[in-house]
Amino acid sequence: MRRMAYLTRRCLTALPAVVSVTWITGLTLVGLLASAAIDKDAATASRLEEVRERGTLVMLTRNGASSYFVEGDGPSGPEYALARQFADELGVDLEVRVADGFKDLSRLLQKGEGDLIAAHLTRTPARVERFRFSLPYAETRALVVVRQGLRLPESVEDLVGLRGAVAAGTSFEEFLEQAGETVEGLEWRAEKGVGEEDLLHAVAEGEYEYTLVDERVFGLHRRYYPNVRESFTLGGEQDLAWAFLRDDDDSLVQAANLFLRATRENGTLAAIERRFFQPQEPLDAIAMGHLQDSMRDRLPHFLPFFLEAAEHNGLDWRLLAAMGYQESLWDPLATSPTGVRGMMMLTLNTAESLGVDDRLDPLQSIRGGAEYFVRLHASLPERIAEPDRSWFTLAAYNIGMGHLEDARRLTENQGGDPDVWEDVRKRLPLLAQEKYHSKTRYGYARGYETVAFVDNVRRFFETLVWMDTRSHPLLAEHVVTAP
């Protein structure tokens, strides 16, 4: 089992802080937690007191888009974001322990190696017998998806004769087991050590003909699997909740329930939902006409900044401008759901390390982006030559150097050249598949988004070069007159 522990108390920059919420009784959440812990000998307060005295809340989870992953400067994911705020409310640090499989989560909780399971877990009858669940923080449904080209199934009976698979230990396995009791000929496998994205890929490639996925996860990733179609939902809505030990001590789950009620009322849950599950349109779908409009209306205001930062750092201003367009459409006030801000979309940690104190200042942002690019460029092995070196740098700018190194090692293990961008480009999407990212140092990453990021920047860069070298009217006048 691979363990990854991150101890932090830093508040999320992209989400509203969880504050003490006044209830009808007039007590605050903090007050209720404190009153629950007055008597240390009381059985209902022992586990909560243990967490507070230890100073750490241990979260058991799985690596993936719906729960926890490392991105950019550090840990992320919807479960991590919510659990970290719960830990902050308790006044303790958050430690993350990542399990290899869904069944491992239960084992680790029973062994006392974690305080709660926060892994996009649905509340099913079978699980209620094993765990004590918190109040739900979201709802979802099981979605049946099939390979493109097949007749679209409308019911479980229509799946007979098709080859299917689900992740072992999930509620999807429970669904098919129940369905198999009444539907003869249902063919499927429970795959161990895989995630939903692995199975989406397997269906897209024809290894299986159908699988079950969380409808929210599929909505987020469907554009990356054009060969997979949704067909119907199996069962009704299911509650997503945290799981705790099922025994006589409910102090921690009661504290969690108070916290979850507060986050629903103050908008934190809605903000996390928007941040992690609201699909974003890929920038490669933006028409060239939009780029030209932006060159006419926006670029002239910021071109001097790109020229100055590029000259100071020994870069091509057109590459730097292409990055700015891909990141923000040359909008100095841009803010993403993940908390990155400004023209060059710098994270708070990166900005601080570069001495950028105002990410919304376009000059500071462009200078910071240029310096960060140079820093990443210099950290790559010297043997990597141009232009691949710049494409690798763009990838690290988007996904982080740790994940890029994971992709390079994966490329080498598969017989590719880790110093050739095209070879690594083919492997980056594999970081979203569990059978690959479970063997890497930094785990899950949306590598397919990084491929799109680099492709888009290159396309915009080539367009700017083409226009610049031909003295295109949209560029020529502004470049000549810029100081």
How many Å apart are CA 96 and CA 83, to the nearest integer? 10
How many Å apart are CA 436 and CA 441, to the nearest integer? 11
Strands 228-240 and 138-147: antiparallel
**Which of 234, 225, 223 lies closest to 153 in space, CA to CA?**
234
Element (H, E) at 147: strand 138-147
Q: How far is CA 252 from CA 25, 108, 134, 245, 346, in A?
A: 21, 17, 9, 10, 37
**Residue 335 structure tokens:** 């803010």
Among residues 209, 327, 434, 449, which one is catalytic? 327
How many Å apart are CA 205 and CA 197, to the nearest integer? 12
**C-beta of residue 372 within 8 angstroms of C-beta of residue 346:** yes
How many Å apart are CA 483 and CA 480, to the nearest integer? 8
How many Å apart are CA 324 and CA 326, to the nearest integer? 5
How many Å apart are CA 310 and CA 344, to the nearest integer? 13
Read out DSSP for 426-459? HHGGGGGSHHHHTTSSS----HHHHHHHHHHHHH
| CA 98 from centre of chain | 15
- Tell me which DSSP letter residue 28 carries: B
Is the four-CA dihedral 198, 204, 210, 212 of positive or negative sign?
A: positive
Is residue 327 part of the annotated active site? The answer reads yes
**Which of 427, 475, 446 lies closest to 322 in space, CA to CA?**
475
**Residue 317 structure tokens:** 């201003």
Write the CB contacts of 152 (distance below 8 Å, at least 6 apart in sequence). Answer: 146, 229, 231
Report whether the peptide linkage leading into residue 125 is cis, meaning its omega lies within 30 degrees of zero: no
**C-beta of residue 80 within 8 angstroms of C-beta of residue 61:** yes
Q: Give the catalytic positions in this structure.
A: 327
